[in-house]
Amino acid sequence: MRRLLIVDDEAIITDGLAEILGGLGLEGLEICTAYSGSEALEWLNSTRIDVVLSDIRMPELDGLELLEMIRRDWPRCRVIFLTGYNDFDPVYQAIQTWGVRYLLKTEGYAKLIAAVEETLHELDEGLRTDTLLQQAREQRTTLEFLAHGEYFRHLLMGTGSLKTSDLLEDFDKLHVPLDPARPYLLVLGSLAHGCATTSYAGRQEAALAAKLLADDSFQDKQSVGIIDRYGDLLWLIQPLGSMEDDATAYDSLTRFLEGTLEWIQAACVSKLGMEATFTICRTPFSWEALPHAYERLRQLQHLRVGDGSSMVTTVQVEPLELGGMMRDGLRTERIEPLAGLLEAGRSEAFMATFRELSDMLLGEPSVDSMQVTELYYSVALMLLAYMNRRQLTGRMSTTELMRFDAHGSWQEAFTYLADTAEQLFALRRNGEKKRAESVIERICSYVEQHLAEELSMVRLASEFHFNPAYLSRLFKQGRGQNLSDYIEEARIRQAKALLVAEELRVHEVGQRVGYESPHSFTRFFKKGAGMTPQEYREFARTSVP
């Protein structure tokens, strides 16, 4: 979406340019108008403007003064100055500034349209400049670390796709140096609880420093290191070489990790002043097992001998241990994505995720009742917390929500939870709709009562505390027409009533509906009614029986 602001103290010019440019049908272009430099400044102070088409000489605040403010607040905004004067001093001063064009008003609409189209094209091309590409390269390392962490935390929670085809696409886009068709080893690292810093930022900084130490030692391996949701370090590592060598490659990799992590452990003490413990899982895992392998590794680290500080432990997970994937998959952490979807109002995604969880649970014959009960109450508590935050407990029954034994079967219990969630989404939609309808009614009432005043989008947005673009979009969604069209129709209705019912002069009627200039009012009325105000007055009076 691009936003063009037309500024001229002569209303006939401003309105004419808006009508001509609006009639071009330029996709994604929103046209705004201002009838003075100060009104243009109101627009610039409330929303992003991409192109300003302005007269260079205006009272109060002229084009050059306006240009200074544009360059200060919106440095990428382009400016096209229009003037009918032959005094080129201000023009010469203006065109020395980057992004400024100059046109004489006498050059005609064709050149003006071409200048606007060229400027819009330059803005689009500017997004693909070498400067932006260079900035992207400089930020790439940091962004990749953040992206890798977010992506793998998503996979570890069991909410991302682990299909080989999806992993291939994701790894390629995120520059993940791992092979999704090949197993990997996991290494989990924890900083000692006695670490000097207790703040979140301090713990993150300490974990990142330890990660960088290890990454430097893993340079000749295929590896990705992240900080997990608990603030611990996790690496996924693969050996280099062909897959034909995998039989011995993973054993060699395990030995490498055991020796290297001991050195890293010592480096953490000497260079960072903190103790660390590492647990290596020597079992190569398939990617489908990632969430469950990670959970099992955390369990095994928790069960280590002694206090666990300054240890490097190697563990192995037998295939039978991963047979409990279903139970691990029902862990409470899986509720967090549901809570996020509920809070965001994404009903379809919420119901799909909930069905996936419940179907997985109810389709597993070996799952025990305690796991079912845990999941039920986890979801129920999440729903209850949402109701409390939104003050909805008095608007729907919660009698059975915290009573798992009130339901005849597991299926009925989870159907009840799904129905409760559906009710919450419905209440949210109804509430949003009613609030939108109320705001729109207030806007319409305000317009009807202030037709004689300036009713720009900036003023209405300020009156109702909305961004101008959002206010325009909200009104269009609720009423099915543009707010500017509604204002014009209201002014036409009021003007017709005044022309017929009161002995006012035509210019007085125009002033009553917001037009100081008789010419502008006549032009506006003829466009909306198909005849001049005087013609309408005569027609209406002769039509009355």
471 by Cβ neighbours in 10 Å (0-12 / 13-18 / 19+) ranks as: buried
Residue 443 forms part of a structural domain? no
CA pair distance 190, 280, nearest whole angstrom: 12
Residue 422 forms part of a structural domain? yes
Top-confidence residue, 285 or 129:
285
Let me know whether 353 and 486 are in one domain: no
Let me know whether 301 and 385 are in one domain: no
Let me know whether 455 and 537 are in one domain: yes
CA distances from 163 to 60, 186, 319, 354, 361 (A): 65, 19, 20, 20, 21
The chain-wide mean pLDDT, for the chain, equals 82
Top-confidence residue, 236 or 48:
236
Q: Are 236 and 221 in contact (CB under 8 A)?
A: no
Bridge partners for 189 per DSSP = 233, 278
Let me know whether 316 and 337 are in one domain: no
Let me know whether 264 and 341 are in one domain: no
Longest dimension (CA), the chain: 105
Decide if pLDDT at 434 tops 60.
Answer: yes
Residue 439 forms part of a structural domain? no
Q: What is the CATH number of the domain that holds 173?
A: 3.30.70.270
Let me know whether 158 and 295 are in one domain: yes
pLDDT of residue 132: 47
pLDDT of residue 178: 94
Residue 21 forms part of a structural domain? yes
Q: Which domain holds residue 43?
A: 2-126
The pTM (predicted TM-score) of the whole model is: 0.54
Helix axes 457-464, 468-479, angle to 10 degrees: 90
Let me know whether 8 and 122 are in one domain: yes
Let me know whether 367 and 473 are in one domain: no
Domain boundary among 275, 295, 324: 324
Counted domains in the chain: 4
Q: What is the pLDDT of residues 201-247, one digit of tens each?
A: 777 777 888 888 888 778 778 999 998 888 889 999 998 876 666 66
Top-confidence residue, 199 or 358:
358
pLDDT of residue 97: 62
Let me know whether 224 and 171 are in one domain: yes
Q: What is the CATH number of the domain that holds 58?
A: 3.40.50.2300
Let me know whether 309 and 406 are in one domain: no
Top-confidence residue, 306 or 393:
393
Q: What is the pLDDT of residues 175-209, one digit of tens each?
A: 899 999 999 999 999 887 444 455 667 777 778 88
pLDDT of residue 327: 46
User: In angstroms, what is the C-alpha Rg of the chain?
Assistant: 34
Domain boundary among 324, 352, 376: 324
Let me know whether 264 and 148 are in one domain: yes
Top-confidence residue, 484 or 87:
484
Residue 53 main-chain phi, psi, to 5 deg = -110, 105
pLDDT of residue 417: 93
